[in-house]
Copies of this chain bind each other. A is one copy, B any other.
């Protein structure tokens, strides 16, 4: 997605070879127009699939799940990282290890909102180690729902996330794929859609 790559070049701050900061337009301050365009691009990439629900994880996936939900005209569900007092019913859960925070947390979804008959598109802001997304994929499988694919806004293609997902047979589309980066320099790879 050229518009997104340009924006990353203009506003992204590369703090190290692995840390890219995009919080002026994607995940702290959010450019609502760009977020909507991202949602439309996910809908275009997965066109023809009868998606019934978008799934993401709080917090920074929510704006993109909302945008995809708008474009696809379906509801979305966001997995929670902390058990809410009101979350009293049966849950699907998966452990996720955060490498940036060096901690393992549980992601949970109420069993009421995912089940057989759902055709699910998972979206998130970043695909790096893939830990959170693998957790969501496991939850979709556990729920007996059908996984249509995973859409990510930014992929760090030099990390193992994509291959972990593809090993599970998951179709992955990322809108900006970073081949390599270092402070002051960033290189993108083209998003080559998988032949299914």
Interface residues of A (CB under 8 A from B): 15, 19, 21, 23-25, 28-33, 35-36, 58-60, 62-63, 65-67, 69-70, 73-78, 80, 84-88, 100-101, 109-110, 112-113
Contact = CB atoms under 8 A, between A and B. Distances in A.
A111 to B, nearest CB: 12
Nearest to A72: B32
A59 B78 contact: yes
A113 to B, nearest CB: 4
B59 A15 contact: no
A113 B29 CA distance: 7
A70 B88 CA distance: 33
Contact of A15 (B58, B78, B86, B101): B86
Contact of A28 (B67, B77, B101): B77
Given A15-B88, A19-B86, A58-B59, A24 B113 contact: yes
A55 B30 CA distance: 10
Given A24-B113, A32-B74, A113-B28, A66 B69 contact: no
A36 B76 CA distance: 13
Contact of A59 (B21, B59, B75): B59
Contacts of A75: 25, 29-32
A77 B32 CA distance: 10
A35 to B, nearest CB: 7
A28 B58 CA distance: 9
